Structure 1
Amino acid sequence: MLESVLAFGANVWIAAAYTLEIAAPFVLAHRIRQTRRDLPGALDLQGISADYIILSVQSCVYRIIYIFKYIFPSSLLVQQHAARYYHSPDINKFAILSELPYCLSTLVAIALILLPRFTSTTAQLRLRFSTIAKFVSGVAFTATTTAYLLATLVKFDPATGMGFWGLFYIDSVDLLKGVADFLDCVRFWPQVVINWEEGNTIAFDTAYPHLLLNAAACRGVGMLFAALAQDDIRLATRPAGTFLYLYYIAVVCGVFYFQAYWVYRRDNARIRRGFTKRSEEDGTDDVPRRTREEETIGLMPLMQQHLE
């Protein structure tokens, strides 16, 4: 009886984690659109890292390909799966499909960020897309494409489950998920750099990290309940990748909190006061007064860069 209650509790906590992860991108999109209404029209992505947007899209695309490769497997993939795992049971499609809502919510949220003023936002993306992000995106794309083509488009031996150079077909599909996980981890750090360059965290506020941290906490509690249900506390740290990811999210959110509530607390308050003043006088403002306000709240450097 106790085991059933704990197992049910584990499922509830895991479901809560999924819900928060799906909601998080929409909260971020709403916050960005809300902040953008207070910014000059030319600065659609002021304070937002384009690296975050590009890496998130790339991660979601890889993950969706991985999901649908397993949901609608080819006969070649089924043969290799049996050879790789010694005729193991059928692929757990439900567990794989559970990642799809988060991918779709992220893509929809990014579309909501970019579409309102697509021309100006894409121009801003070009300004914000750093060399490091280009390198990471290029290497990830090249590695996954090359491995996938080598492992799938050459002669495959179902008896051994081997392809070209000993690469497994199934390993090339799993590689997509591994790269997507890597990009999910990397995408936050360019935003930390942008926050440092801007000297504030207004555009990328703490609402998004709040949801991510709560989702990680719910997932951790669910893993603990699942371990207690099977009377083996060691299962609370398995799978190891998920366990380490929970700690990683805690570190990332801690960095954002440190920036927002300690390093840039006064700058954030000053900029919010500038936004409030601007919204109150927006009906009667003129160009010289708007320019003085932009200088006051520290937006002029990026405006000059945009105009150049």
Structure 2
Amino acid sequence: ENYKESLRNLGKAGVKTICYNFMPVLDWARTDLEYPNGDGTSNLYFNKAEFAYFDIYILKRENAEKDYDAVTLSRVEDLRPVMTPDAEHRLVENIIVKTQGFVNGNISEDDEAPVATFRELLKLYEGIDRDALRANMKYFLEAIMPVCNEYDINMCVHPDDPPLQILGLPRIVTCDDDIKWFLDAVPDKHNGLTFCSGSLSAGAHNNVPELARKYADRTWFVHLRSTSVLPNGDFREAPHLGGRADIIELVRVFEKTNPELPMRVDHAPLMLGDEKMGYNAGYSFHGRMLALGQVGGVIATVDRDIKEGKI
């Protein structure tokens, strides 16, 4: 009821696009917030073995090792001799302090406080499996759709980031089947997708342009960024004109379908002193301006080609 009241207030204020997520406890996850690139910039990075090390040896989640393949577990054991207290502290900061709201962004020399808070939050989801979380999402969407229809508000769920099962928690917006499920479960046009090409491209199982073509008519918000996935399961934020998202093709799809879609660039590199400014991870000033210029140029070119009948 509180959420519905907030939606009414937003609708009255003219806010018609609501991006939300259904990721339990942990929002987007990275292990390194300043991974160096060859050109002197840095990017966000997800090291699967370091994340598993955090899960098994810092969080100490029961039976955590069962959630990882043999190659990742071998990499974890290779890490153990070199994981100093400072390295462990960095993982705690990067995974559950600097990027998550539940500890209010407060960085402490005492890692046990945020880790203990995190353990308590995980307990809230004991017994909640994929089917139960899907049922919760369906209940939530059905409950708010009458308000969305009254005020013409588009709800746009953000894909899980990374689009993988992590920390024993169900993740239910990770792939084609997941997107189809929640759109079909509540077929109201106001139940839609935030098409985050970065999140989706971080899953090697996702063909991002194909997903864009399939779900463009239920996409109400676009996040344009890209990632590169390594063979071992690690991934890094890629330049906005690189990686596996194929942003140029995505712009072609969305500009032809709905050129009025709101769009943002996201998770840009740190450059030209960004790293010294205390920005929230992924939201640097210079890096985002570079990305916005690149994407703006792509949009202008695609719009001209559409006007001239070339695409």
Greater strand share, 1 or 2? 2
Determine if the TM-score, normalized by the shorter chain, exceeds 0.5.
Answer: no
Structure whose residues are more often helix by fraction: 1
The structure having more radius of gyration, on CA atoms, is 1
TM bucket by the smaller chain? under 0.3
Report the TM-score, using the length of structure 2 for normalisation.
0.27
Higher relative contact order, structure no. (Cα contacts within 8 Å, ≥ 6 residues apart): 1
